[in-house]
Structure 1
Amino acid sequence: MSARAARRLAWSLFGLFVALAAAAPVLVAVRDGNASDALVATGIGFALVGALIASRQPANAVGWLLLVAAVALGLDTLMSVYVGRATLPGAAWAGWLSSWLLFVWLYLPALFLALVFPAGRLLSRRWRAVVGVGVAAVAANIIGTAFAPGDLEVSADRPLRNPLGLQGPAGDALSWLSAAGELLAAGTLVLGGLSVFLRLRRSHGRERQQVAWFAYICLLALGPFVVLALVGLVAGDDGAPWLEAVQLVAWWSLVVLLLVGLPSAIGIAILRHRLYDIDIVINRTLVYATLTLTLGTAYLGSVLLLQLILNPLTQGSDLAVAMSTLAVAALFRPARRRVQLLVDRRFFRRKYDAARTLAAFGLRLRDELDVDALGNDLSGVVQETVQPTHVTLWLRGSR
């Protein structure tokens, strides 16, 4: 495919996604539903970043994966909204299409982006087997869902039967096929994470920064994913209200990270806009996550302790809460400095050592009067912090 044809195809797919995203709110307005059904608009990041990458780097598979996933997301959302109008003709077929499109827009980026990021190539030919396992997982889930007997698992005003559902032994075999597809998908996800880890270890320079952006978002998304899995195991069928709240927060955090954070990180990495800021982003994430956890624990502990101590005297007033809030506010600055120092010392040792060296040189600079000694000190500091191949110091004369 020529570069011109690739650009036309990329922006045509982007236009198709925009059309699907615009059609969903129209159907929502027709049925007087909730505008949240039109959340397909959050997939604009996949479509835009995919179109930019595919039009500029047609040989990079990452852009085409993002575009196909975005179009499938738009079509899935449109079909789901259409199913809400169950009286419209073809609602059952729209529900059938929506039932398996999930495995296209969700599994394509989840299973294959980690294998080919950032240049659109695998680590080696051996990883083609992993791609085959991922394709088999997607195919098994699509076939198992598209031809499963019974009602379609889509939101509708009334149950919709699967128009292509198979009965008898074939239907039982489809359930086994779907289970096998889930196992294959889980294995592909694990191997994809291993691929990112190996690429991060083997890469250098610009490619290492690119992979770091992708790995950063994946690690952030792993948190709410683990929370959802744990809540699902603990809650069961009838969970407590607070567990449902935790599940809701974790779900939307995962959605935002995948639909907004992931395409943003991919765009920064491949298009190289603010690429080398990843160290700053990781540093701030570690600092503020640790600070939030520390201060939150201190706040809850102080509230419980002060309520236990002051309850006989204050008889249920909010004095304990007010005192705990003031204490945590006073602790913010010193705790932030302490956490920043700890993170720099543990995870950013080179930056920490350079900062200490410059601080020590600043102290010597105030007391040193000998120009020759000062020049030697300056050369030593430059050698230790910047590590150049050669250092030359030129001092202007008295004139």
Structure 2
Amino acid sequence: MAARDAGSSAFAGARGAGAPRLPGTGPSDRLIRAAALVLAVLCVLVAAGGLWAGARLGGAVRPDPIAWPSWTSAAAGLILAAMGAVLVHRLPRHPMAWLLLGGGAVVSAGGFCAAYAGLSVLRHGGDLPLTAVALFVGGRSGPLENLIVPLVLLLFPDGRLPSPRWRLPAAVALGCVGLVILILFTIPWRIISEGDPVFPGLAGIGLDPVTPALPDPVWQATRVIIVGLLLVSVAIPVAAFIGRFRGSDPELRVRLRWMLLAALVNLVIIAAIFALRPYLPNVQKVLWPLCLGVVALAVLIAVARHRLYDVDLLLGRTILYGGLAAAVIAVDTAVFVGAGTLVDDPVAAVVGAGAVGVLYAPLRLRIQRWTDRVLTGRDDPYDVVSALAERLEESVGPDELLREVVPVLSAAFRSPYVRVELDRSGGGTHVVEHGAPRDDVVVLPFAYRETQIGRLALAPRAGTRLSDADQRLLADVLRQAAAAARATALTEEIQRSREQLVTGIAEERRRLRRDLHDGLGPLLAGAALKIEAARNLAGRDLPAADAALAEVRGDLSTVLADVRRLVHDLRPPALDQFGLAGAVERRAAGFAGGALEVSVRTGGDLPGLPAAVEVAAYRIATEALANVSRHARATACEVRLSATPDALEVEVTDDGVGLPPVIHAGVGLVAMRERAGELGGHCTVAPRPGGGTRVHASIPYGTAARTSVPSGGVPGAG
């Protein structure tokens, strides 16, 4: 790694050891920024001078070699200098910043010299100072601009080569550019301007001060050589960029995609140049600054703000609509021309063009899908959600639902491994996997109504990462799947609750039958026999008859106690006698005593409550009081009963020792939660602010009985 950094950094230029430092790390950074600002201002002044000189030429005939650079070079120089200055301000030591700023200076200077020379020749007869030098620089400095794009491709985005093995190819590429510069600095002016009008006034100016004496055929051959050298100088940096892209990590690849976007935009611009050239001969001169500006903007964003925008979205839309426009134009032109030629009927040509419109929608869809798969590794978000919705409609249970969701996610995101874990309400976790397990997974929890119900583990494609858009899409998909999973799970819970209810009723009936048959039945049968025996003894042995009746009385007392126990188990009689508040008060009085004081409060009159709600509230309050008495070591305990429009609230607080660090839910805590949960409510046990424990239960009572009755009891209860 050290060798790589040393070699690459040496090629990139003087930049100090290590990676580019952040701005503001010392006085030297402020000096660098000041120097960059001065250079940027000079670029602006030079570009402004070129624009002024070009404007002064407005009334003259302007041949391409002289007039157009004053406008195009000024625009290109300003763009490069502005982007470079902004980047230097943020990262003063970054090589890419100085590459843009230096490129802007070179382009601006060349344009100014060309405009100055043109102004001198056309307006002043070539009498302005340094006209020959300005003409030489302005007419031949263009090749220096050929260094900008190769250097950007070689050093983008961190100012270093992809690896040391690219040093020799990079030197070859830059050597080719150097040869082009050398040839164009020495080639005769008549060869450069061949086919273009030349001012008569130029004849007296030394246009070829360093031109070797070679035959014209040799110079003509160099024009072909220049094309080959330029191709090599671009092909090597492109190969280096591709190699860097293929070997990059997901973070670096996001930055490199900005240059891909710039390349695609430039391809569109080049296509526009070829399409418009028959109508606008100088269109390439106008659009050329735009090409450089796109590259400079890509460098600026990728280096300084690559996470600010979604490059995948921009890149995808560029490919989609650029490819679509090219395809539609090509097909439309072919159909229009072909139909008009073959049939010799303009109407047929119009019909053929209309056929292209019919093909537009499926063509767009195919390009869109291909773009999404190549760039993002997944289908269009709507297609993902639509496919998932279809699978969810076909699933009938949570297990099958997960088996449907997992392959959809794997196919949509081109993921080699997907795992979904769904927490079951009764405990445990259901897991469904697709693909071979991996370590490089992204784990995302998913929730239903702010309650986490599971987790998704997804491995991105090799060499990619989950973008922000991918994570947002996953969140939407998981939200949809979570709602479906929760609905299905609730359906199963309801079914289990029904089964438990039926089983509970059957067990309760069996217990009642057993108590009646095994307890009350024999006692009553024995009492009847004893009464019959006492009746037989009454005429001849009164003491024996009296003793028999005394035994009967004891048996009936036992029967009465058993009946009361059975009735109390079904529903505490105190609820019918005193109402919920009164029953709780009397039960609380049994726990008071010693150091513990118990109080019961009601928040106004309680509404008429369903029997099940009253029993659940009474049992929860009783169990909470029992826990306070046994474990809290409290001196004060308060029971509060209140009603909201939808639920009965039961709160029991104490000032005791509070909860232990580790809570082991015993039978009592579980029973309280189950009693509230059976009616759709909940019960929580938590520390009380200021010390002690707080038990809070909320029990919905629905709309069955909303008539307000006194909290002391039910009318007619005695």
Which TM-score band (shorter chain)?
Answer: 0.7 to 0.9
Residues 54 and 127 of structure 1, relative CA distance in 2, 3 Å threshold:
farther
2:210 is aligned with 1:165? yes
Aligned-residue offset at 1:377: 5.2
1:358 to 362, 385, 389: 385
Q: Deviations over 1:150-181 (max 9, x none)?
A: 65947863334236335547999999999888
Q: Does structure 2 retain, via aligned residues, the 8 Å contact 1:140–1:180?
A: no
Aligned-residue offset at 1:9: 1.6
Aligned-residue offset at 1:56: 2.1
Counterpart AA for 1:83: A
2:84 is aligned with 1:50? yes
SS in 2 for 1:59: coil
Residues 65 and 182 of structure 1, relative CA distance in 2, 3 Å threshold:
farther
Residues 147 and 203 of structure 1, relative CA distance in 2, 3 Å threshold:
same
2:162 to 119, 123, 136: 123
Aligned-residue offset at 1:92: 1.5
Aligned-residue offset at 1:394: 4.7
2:348 to 298, 314, 320: 320
Counterpart AA for 1:303: F
Aligned-residue offset at 1:77: 0.9
After the TM superposition, which of the residue ranges 161-170 and 106-115 deviates more from structure 2?
Answer: 161-170
2:278 to 245, 253, 263: 245
After the TM superposition, which of the residue ranges 198-207 and 215-224 deviates more from structure 2?
Answer: 215-224
Counterpart AA for 1:56: R
Q: Does structure 1 retain, via aligned residues, the 8 Å contact 2:107–2:142?
A: yes
2:256 is aligned with 1:211? yes
Aligned-residue offset at 1:95: 0.6
In the alignment, what sits opposite 1:255? 288
Aligned-residue offset at 1:270: 1.2
Instruction: Give, in whole Å, the separation in 1 of the partners of 2:356 and 2:214.
Output: 63
Q: Deviations over 1:262-314 (max 9, x none)?
A: 11221221122456633223322332233234333442344345446764xxx
In the alignment, what sits opposite 2:142? 102
2:235 is aligned with 1:190? yes
Instruction: Give, in whole Å, the separation in 1 of the partners of 2:211 and 2:249.
Output: 52
Q: Does structure 2 retain, via aligned residues, the 8 Å contact 1:137–1:180?
A: no
Instruction: Give, in whole Å, the separation in 1 of the partners of 2:294 and 2:138.
Output: 25
In the alignment, what sits opposite 1:234? none
Counterpart AA for 1:45: I
In the alignment, what sits opposite 2:436? none
Instruction: Give, in whole Å, the separation in 2 of the partners of 1:38 and 1:253.
Output: 8
1:3 to 29, 32, 39: 29
In the alignment, what sits opposite 1:295? 328
SS in 1 for 2:328: helix
In the alignment, what sits opposite 1:92? 132
Residues 281 and 4 of structure 1, relative CA distance in 2, 3 Å threshold:
same
Q: Does structure 2 retain, via aligned residues, the 8 Å contact 1:383–1:391?
A: no
Alignment of 1:225-244 (within 5 A): none
Residues 175 and 138 of structure 1, relative CA distance in 2, 3 Å threshold:
farther
Instruction: Give, in whole Å, the separation in 2 of the partners of 1:175 and 1:325.
Output: 45
SS in 2 for 1:161: coil
Gaps of 5+ in 1: 232-241
Larger Rg: 2
In the alignment, what sits opposite 2:582? none
Residues 394 and 75 of structure 1, relative CA distance in 2, 3 Å threshold:
closer
SS in 1 for 2:387: helix
1:71 to 105, 125, 130: 105
Residues 75 and 135 of structure 1, relative CA distance in 2, 3 Å threshold:
same
Aligned-residue offset at 1:60: 2.1
Residues 356 and 286 of structure 1, relative CA distance in 2, 3 Å threshold:
same
In the alignment, what sits opposite 1:235? none
Aligned-residue offset at 1:98: 1.5
Q: Does structure 2 retain, via aligned residues, the 8 Å contact 1:136–1:181?
A: no
2:304 is aligned with 1:271? yes
2:371 is aligned with 1:337? no
Residues 76 and 336 of structure 1, relative CA distance in 2, 3 Å threshold:
same
After the TM superposition, which of the residue ranges 62-71 and 41-50 deviates more from structure 2?
Answer: 41-50
SS in 2 for 1:351: coil
2:55 to 7, 20, 29: 29
1:285 to 299, 318, 335: 318
Q: Does structure 1 retain, via aligned residues, the 8 Å contact 2:84–2:98?
A: yes
Aligned length: 380
Instruction: Give, in whole Å, the separation in 2 of the partners of 1:226 and 1:287.
Output: 15
Counterpart AA for 1:71: A
After the TM superposition, which of the residue ranges 195-204 and 128-137 deviates more from structure 2?
Answer: 128-137
SS in 1 for 2:313: helix
Q: Deviations over 1:337-385 (max 9, x none)?
A: 243234445x257312976553232124346564675567557766775
TM-score (norm 1): 0.76
Between structures 1 and 2, the one with greater helix share: 1
Residues 134 and 357 of structure 1, relative CA distance in 2, 3 Å threshold:
closer
Instruction: Give, in whole Å, the separation in 1 of the partners of 2:300 and 2:251.
Output: 14
Instruction: Give, in whole Å, the separation in 2 of the partners of 1:182 and 1:294.
Output: 29
1:17 to 43, 52, 70: 43
TM-score (norm 2): 0.45
Aligned-residue offset at 1:109: 0.8
Counterpart AA for 2:233: T
Aligned-residue offset at 1:66: 1.2
Instruction: Give, in whole Å, the separation in 1 of the partners of 2:178 and 2:259.
Output: 26
Bigger relative contact order, structure 1 or 2, given CA contacts below 8 A and separation 6+? 1
Instruction: Give, in whole Å, the separation in 1 of the partners of 2:93 and 2:33.
Output: 12
In the alignment, what sits opposite 2:608? none
Instruction: Give, in whole Å, the separation in 1 of the partners of 2:340 and 2:185.
Output: 57
Gaps of 5+ in 2: 1-14, 16-27, 419-440, 450-489, 491-679, 682-718
